[in-house]
Structure 1
Amino acid sequence: MFERFTEDARRVVKDTQVHARALGHRHIGTEHLLLALLTGGGAAAETLRRHGLDAVDLRARIVRAAEEPLDPEALRAIGIDLDAVRQATEESFGPGALDVPAGESRPGGGPRGHIRFSPEAKKSLELALRQAIRLKQKHIAAGHILLGLLHDETFLSARLLVGAGVDLGELRADITGLLTSKAA
């Protein structure tokens, strides 16, 4: 599949390692792909900035999301009270029993060597290929990766964009228009 990636798209995928490592993360998620798109330059980055996304703000949002890996609102929707679970766990196992061990998510505390892609990040790259096929294009560009990240609104990348005030439908339309105008 990677032989179909343009040079910009390959750079985005490579840059995810740098961003994940700098954030001290042990996996590459959709959030790292989004950050690599935003900081990588090119038309996809310009479009993200035009929609109000800022790299410094996005990094801060990623850090905050990593500090609380469980989504209390999503859990509440299925009948789980995270605060009650935390309280019961700490009563049984001591304070901080559910906390991430020190150094696991701090900058500089990440792994050495190759960092693996999360299942969601892999899925977003597969969706990038599907977007290229849908648009009848032979190569996968950075814009296709962005469309892959936007395809599933449960991906952290999509949730971060919504949290930053980005209208996902408008962003999809802009990126699709950009990709189809370049193909013409």
Structure 2
Amino acid sequence: MFERFTKTARDVVIGAQLEARTAGTGEIGSAELLVALIRGRDETASRLLDGHDLTVEGLTEDFERVKRRGGLTDEDAAALAAVGVDVENVVRSVEASFGKDALAPATRSKRHIPFSAEAKWTIAQSLREAVSRKDKHIGSEHLLLALLSRPTLAAQALEAKGVTYQAISERLAS
């Protein structure tokens, strides 16, 4: 399947490993795929994401906040706040007692960082997206659609900036 990927799409998948290593995560997930996609933004991805405030720095900060919370998203934190739980206060308290990133998942070996089930699904979904559009290649547009096709951390970050599966699909069709 990897041979059907364009050079840019291959670079995104390979770049996701570097993003995971830099972020200190134990596996490559949707967040790392999205950051690699934004970092290596090609002409197609730029056209599809034009007008949305998506930066590597902003995404990295958002994902770092989620990691420090032990995986709780802003949406999760808002739900907990509605019942009186201040997640940021809990994180500060835990980190004061146990150190920075005490709630973050443990990292694995520095040598090989595996793809999470979510990332594997995203890559396989990019093939399905290409096939459904009768494209002979898998490009950054297919990876973007795959990232948006399921509720993941990357999809939540994209949707928070107004990027939806339907909107990207419509832009591709025009």
TM-score of the superposed pair, with normalisation by structure 2: 0.77
Q: How does 1:36-115 map to 2 (within 5 A)?
A: 36-46=36-46, 47-68=48-69, 69-71=71-73, 101=102, 111-115=109-113
Query: Does structure 1 conserve the Cα–Cα contact (< 8 Å) formed by 2:52 and 2:161?
Result: no
Q: Higher mean Cα deviation, 134-143 or 109-118? A: 109-118
- How far the C-alpha of 1:13 sits from its partner, in A, is 0.4
Q: Give the number of aligned pairs.
A: 166
The Cα shift of 1:71 comes to 4.8
| 1:18 is aligned to 2:18 | yes
Segments of 5+ residues of structure 2 without an aligned counterpart are 86-95
Query: Is the radius of gyration larger for structure 1 or structure 2?
Result: 1
Contact 1:72 1:82 (8 Å CA) reproduced? no
Instruction: Give the equivalent residue in structure 1 for 2:90.
Output: none
Maintained 8 Å contact 2:20/2:27: yes
Q: Please say if residues 67 and 105 of structure 2, whose CA atoms lie closer than 8 Å, have aligned partners that are also in contact.
A: no
Offset, 1:53: 1.5
For the Cα contact (< 8 Å) 2:66–2:74, is it kept in 1?
no
- The one-letter amino acid paired with 2:60 is R
- CA apart distance, 1:121: 0.8
Give the direction of change, closer, same or farther, for the CA distance of 1:166–1:139 in structure 2 (3 Å limit): closer
Of residues 116, 119, 127 in structure 1, which corresponds to 2:117? 119
Of all paired residues, the percent bearing the same amino acid is: 34
Q: Please say if 1:161 is aligned against 2:158.
A: yes
Structure-1 residue corresponding to 2:31:
31
Query: Offset of 1:41 from its aligned partner?
Result: 2.5
Gap change, CA 1:110 and 1:63, over 3 Å in 2 = farther
- Is structure 2 residue 147 aligned with structure 1 residue 149? yes
Cα 1:127–1:49 change in 2 (3 A) is same
CA 1:148–1:25: 2 relative to 1, 3 Å:
same
Question: Could you tell me how far 1:160 is from its partner in structure 2?
Answer: 1.0
Unaligned segments of structure 1, at least 5 residues: 84-94, 179-184
**Partner in structure 1 of residue 127 of structure 2:** 129
Do the aligned partners of residues 104 and 76 (structure 1) sit closer, same or farther apart at CA in structure 2, a change above 3 Å counting? closer
Which amino acid in the other structure matches residue 51 of structure 2? R
- Counterpart amino acid of 1:14? I
